[in-house]
Amino acid sequence: MNLEWVHPGLLLILGAWVLPLLKGRVKRTAMLVLPGAAMVVCWLMQPGTYGVVSFFGQELVFGRVDRLSLVFSYVFTIMAFLGMLYALHVEDDAQHVAALTYAGSALGVTFAGDFLSLYVFWELMAISSVLLVWLRRERTAVAAGFRYLLTHVFGGLVLLAGIAIYWSQTGTLAFGDLGALSGGVAWALILVAFLLNAAVPPLNAWLADAYPEATVTGAVFMTAFTTKSAVYVLIRGFAGTELLMWLGAVMAIYGVVYAVLENDARRLLAYHIISQVGYMVCGVGIGTALALNGATAHAFAHILYKALLFMGAGAVLHTTGLRKLSDMGGLYRTMPLTLGLYMIGAFAISAVPLFSGFVSKSMVVSAAGEVHSASIFLMLSLASAGTFLHTGLKLPYYMFFGRNPQPKDAVHGREPPRNMLAAMALAAAACILIGVFPGLLYRFLPNPVSYAPYNLTHITSTLGMLGFTALGFFLLLKHLDPERKLSLDTDWFFRRGATGFLALVQGPLKRFESDFVGEIYEFVIRRPVLSVARLLRGIDSIIVDGILVRAGSSIKTLSGMLRTLASGHAQHYGLIMAAGILVLLALALLAS
Amino acid sequence: MSFLQKHLEDPVRFARIRRGFYLGLIGIAVAEIVTLGFGGHGHFWFEGIPAWGSLYGLVSCIAIILVSKLIGKLWLMRREDYYEP
């Protein structure tokens, strides 16, 4: 068959608009067929360059298909399928259209070979994802959505500025490795925009602010696409940028610290997205073949287990309406299936052997070992302990067990709808499959893989690390009780800092303007200008006007005199002529 | 009564689980010492410390909890309505 190339992203973005026209079972089928079809399209795609469009003399490439973009497209389409399955019971077309558009734009970014098409999908991703926040239709969600959108609009503008400078410097829009421009303005602006979407501190606040405010099903989509497409473009453009290695390691710990303090279940998980993306950013910074494979593999595994974790926390929110750990407890009695599936995700993120995180995270940590960076190695290992501590111990403990002294006060939950459980089960199966058969994932990685995660030392040291983290957790359990508090993050600067800035503008700055700047203006500009103007007006009215007025009045006098001569009566003219002739005659007679 | 309830809500069975957990920890630490070097040499000298993973796990866990809580109490944690207008 010789079909034209089909863009899987456009398939989702355009196909989404069919959903509002359908009803009932047909609609639910279409919700699964669309991402399923996109998955098949990606799967059948061969490396090459497709979808080249000429646009004002520039070549736009919508289909740069190579090993790197393919592996990301696989996991993005799998995720779109799992997300739609999880959302199958939701009777809100707007959410489905937004979610599919969001997934489609992430695929658009993945296959973009030039900056212009990348930018368009980049912005579409921000717009469609903010809808998933707003569509929860609560006051806090709307406010968080606006903060999310403003942050991403800012990031988009920074990207656009970077692209414009890049274009003017290189004369091309092709998106590839930017190492040659390292340190330049274009390089820095594009990097900042990418880092904002990857939620690298201090550009991280939007993530933990907005994700917990999104709809139950929308949040599952959000965990996958924005940060991981940012990791993809970082691998593409900034591999081996040493700064990223350090930012990534700091980021891995940053998320862990905030997770200790967090009480909102989904916000705790959101901080662990920041922590986990830290490993990927660090891998991009290390930049070796193993590290880039690790960043890619970890993105792949992360999308699946983090979606599973958000699905679990979402199931609790869906059935109990609770989002704060301090309100939960005892749910193991009524939601054992959810607990079991959640724990598979928790083991995967904690890199327990036989689960997906074990075979992906360790690639990045080993890459840090290979470049002999002890501090990076220790920071990433420390963050691993923190990951298990929160996602594997603290959150399930307080959510499903809790101290819960009186069973009759236990929160009453029930298992979520079957489609939600099915999505969780599929994600859980993927986590185990990748963990048990790492080769399934490794064969799709961009570089050839010689890494073997399963050896005795690695297994026992990982188990030791996790086991003794658990010991530390139970020893310090009383210090970990979730508190009804919020933690300041860098969103303080625009949530409270901005209020302070406005007060500064409206108070002292305004007074300074009217009292000081205003006075200076009065004396230095207004008054001198007015006196000069007065002088000029004097010159104008006395001299210029005077001359004109005099000239006018003399002409008027002259014409008055002439008017007495020109009376219009023929006898007067005749009399004057006769007088003239008499004068002439008299002159002639007297002169002769 | 589900499997979980049976094991968690019976004090005798729960004590048995707890004992198993501690024995498991000892087993892991011993296994770690025995298998040292089986996966080739580590990249750093500290990976040669006996039961390195177990030690670092425990130290990391305690450090994360204490340091984070300290930062939280002294600086970051605020009332829940802090951002309310």
CB A41 within 8 A of CB A10: no
Pairing relation of β-strands A48-55 and A58-65?
Answer: antiparallel
Is it the case that residue B85 has pLDDT exceeding 80? no
Contacts of B76 in chain A (CB under 8 A): 258, 261, 487-489
3-state secondary structure of A64: strand
pLDDT confidence of residue A289: 96
Contacts of A485 in chain B (CB under 8 A): 72, 77-80
Please check whether residue B84 lies inside any domain of the structure: no
Q: What percent of chain A has pLDDT over 70?
A: 98
Q: Which single residue is written with the structure tokens 């099915």? A: A422
Would you give the DSSP letter of residue B37?
T
Give the residue numbers spanning the domain of B67.
Answer: 3-76
CB contact under 8 A, B65 and A476: yes
Size of interface A-B (CB pairs under 8 A): 169
Please check whether residue B85 lies inside any domain of the structure: no
CB A362 within 8 A of CB A453: yes
Interface of A with B in 370-389 (CB under 8 A): 370, 372, 374, 377-378, 381-382, 384-386, 389
pLDDT confidence of residue A405: 46
DSSP per-residue codes, A185-216? HHHHHHHHHHHHHTT-TTS-HHHHHHGGGS-H
Question: Which of A457, A474, A476, A481 to substitute to test the interface with B, most B CBs within 10 Å?
Answer: A457
Which residues are paired to B79 by β-bridges? A485
Contacts of B60 in chain A (CB under 8 A): 381-382, 384-386, 465, 469, 472
CA distance A343 to chain B (A): 14
Positive or negative torsion for Cα A282, A288, A294, A296 = positive
pLDDT confidence of residue A502: 82
Please check whether residue B83 lies inside any domain of the structure: no
Phi, psi of A57 (to 5 degrees): 80, 0
For B60, the closest of A333, A339, A469 (CB atoms) is A469
pLDDT confidence of residue A1: 37
CB A316 within 8 A of CB A399: yes
CA-angle at A549, arms to A543 and A553, nearest 5°:
145
Report the phi/psi class of residue A487: left, alpha or beta, with left for phi > 0 and alpha for psi in -120 to 50.
beta
Kindly provide the ipTM of the predicted complex, given to two decimals.
0.94
Which residues are paired to A61 by β-bridges? A52
Please check whether residue B24 lies inside any domain of the structure: yes
Is it the case that residue A3 has pLDDT exceeding 70? no
Contacts of B67 in chain A (CB under 8 A): 257
Is it the case that residue B38 has pLDDT exceeding 80? no
Contacts of B55 in chain A (CB under 8 A): 468
Kindly report the number of other CB atoms within 10 A of residue A363's CB atom: 25
Q: What is the mean pLDDT of residues B39-66?
A: 88
pLDDT confidence of residue A572: 82
Is it the case that residue B1 has pLDDT exceeding 60? no
At residue A410 the predicted structure's pLDDT band, cuts being 50, 70 and 90, is low
Q: What is the mean pLDDT of residues A355-369?
A: 95
The domain total for chain B is 1
Pull the structure tokens for residue A234: 């970082």
Q: Note the residue count of chain A.
A: 592
CB A316 within 8 A of CB A465: no
Residue type, A457: T
Tell me: the pLDDT tens digits for A512-536? 888 888 889 888 988 999 999 999 9
Quick check: A450 contacting B, CB < 8 Å? no
The closest alpha carbon to A177, from A52, A46, A45, A284, belongs to A284
CA distance A54 to A61: 9
Question: Which of B25, B64, B67, B76 to substitute to test the interface with A, most A CBs within 10 Å?
Answer: B64
CA distance A231 to A228: 5
Q: What is the mean pLDDT of residues A35-49?
A: 95
The closest alpha carbon to A365, from A201, A272, A249, belongs to A249
CB A107 within 8 A of CB A75: no
Please check whether residue B10 lies inside any domain of the structure: yes
Tell me: the pLDDT tens digits for A278-300? 999 999 999 999 999 999 999 99
Contacts of B79 in chain A (CB under 8 A): 485-486
CA distance A162 to chain B (A): 33
CA distance A556 to B32: 121
Contacts of B3 in chain A (CB under 8 A): 336
CB contact under 8 A, B42 and A369: yes
* Radius of gyration from C-alpha coordinates of chain A: 38
Non-local CB neighbours of B54 within 8 Å, separated by 6+ positions? A461, A464, A465, A467, A468, B25, B28, B29, B32
Quick check: A142 contacting B, CB < 8 Å? no
Residue type, A135: L
For B31, the closest of A261, A460, A480 (CB atoms) is A460
For A464, the closest of B39, B46, B57 (CB atoms) is B57
CB contact under 8 A, A469 and B32: no
Kindly report the number of other CB atoms within 10 A of residue A129's CB atom: 28
Q: What is the mean pLDDT of residues A487-513?
A: 85
Please check whether residue B20 lies inside any domain of the structure: yes
CB A9 within 8 A of CB A105: yes
Question: Which of A341, A372, A460 to substitute to test the interface with B, most B CBs within 10 Å?
Answer: A460
How many C-alpha atoms does A570 have within 13 Å on its Cβ side? 0
CB A339 within 8 A of CB A306: no
Contacts of B5 in chain A (CB under 8 A): 332-333
pLDDT confidence of residue A148: 95
Q: Of all residues in chain B, what percent are helix, strand and coil, respectively (each to 5)?
A: 70, 5, 25
CB contact under 8 A, A260 and B68: yes
